[in-house]
Structure 1
């Protein structure tokens, strides 16, 4: 199912998207606040693990495209991490440097919160951000997330956002 925002198309990731996503997820500089993938194969494995979660849970990160020209800008959305389980449903996003500073992360976060609340009816979302990643911290706070605590083993702040469940 594709979700459209004012400027973005959010849709399930296809294996054919992975080479373009690897240009972002494999870029050490772009991914300096999180892990990056050394190989296309590792990136494909990671994306496939999340797509397996989509089939199981009904959500996983989307391929994020520009509505203006169809360019893949990044990857993100709601997920339960199949590689580091136990944190609950998270919001995460990874964008190409060319997309930074344009409000796309805030647009994605708003769409993700709406999806979590309206369709999935989740009680809460979590997110992580490194303290030095001020842009991501601002995106989360703007989306209604509240910083809970610092998680030393992840070197990140844990954020939480309660959702207004529909009855």
Structure 2
């Protein structure tokens, strides 16, 4: 099992593999159209569970998948994200993705998750670049990505999103 499959701790977060018992916590905000206005909105608990399980199934094959994001202080589930190759659209390559409960917005948690994800991508996987996609109107995500070293590559019409890339600064 890859180091990415295990739990990871940052200063304020615990990043853990998804388990079925996490689904209801995640569904609480993943079904909220306002909270998820820039990404997939789960139409039902079963759809949410199925989608989360499809991402988690890639962990065995790839050695990584998005994590459940918990606060280190009290273990509260506040989000989901990390490194991913989308099981439905793998042609976009290695991406960092994330979604957070609105109560955790603006507190730097997304930045902390993205930094941890890039550290693992460049350090543990040895990849040279990671992609991210955000709708043009999602300025908060664009700020997070740019703060973490991503640069805007342009608009991707097939996804109706801006395409960002973070490149490793390590010598090849």
> Is the shorter-chain TM-score for this pair beyond 0.5, marking a shared fold?
yes
TM-score when normalising by structure 1: 0.96
The match for 1:160 is: 165
Q: TM-score when scaled to structure 2?
A: 0.94
1:140 to 128, 139, 145: 145
Kept in 2, the 8 Å contact 1:121–1:165? The answer is no
Rounded Cα–Cα distance in structure 1 between residues aligned with 2:89 and 2:12:
31
1:16-165 aligned within 5 A: 16-165=21-170
Q: Distance in 2 between matches of 1:33 and 1:6?
A: 27
Task: Label 1:70 to 1:145 Cα distance change in 2 as closer, same or farther (>3 A).
Answer: same
C-alpha change, 1:119 and 1:42, in structure 2 (3 Å) is same
* Partner Cα separation in structure 2 for residue 165 and residue 58 of structure 1: 22
Aligned-partner Cα distance in 2 for 1:30–1:122:
31
- Whole-Å separation in 1 of the counterparts to 2:52 and 2:171: 31
Q: Which aligned segments of 4 or more residues in structure 1 are displaced greater than 2 angstroms? A: 164-167
Range that drifts further, 130-139 or 146-155 = 146-155
Q: CA deviation at 1:164?
A: 3.6
Structure 2 residue runs of 5 or longer lacking an equivalent are 1-5
**What residue ranges of structure 1 are gaps of 5+ in the alignment?**
none
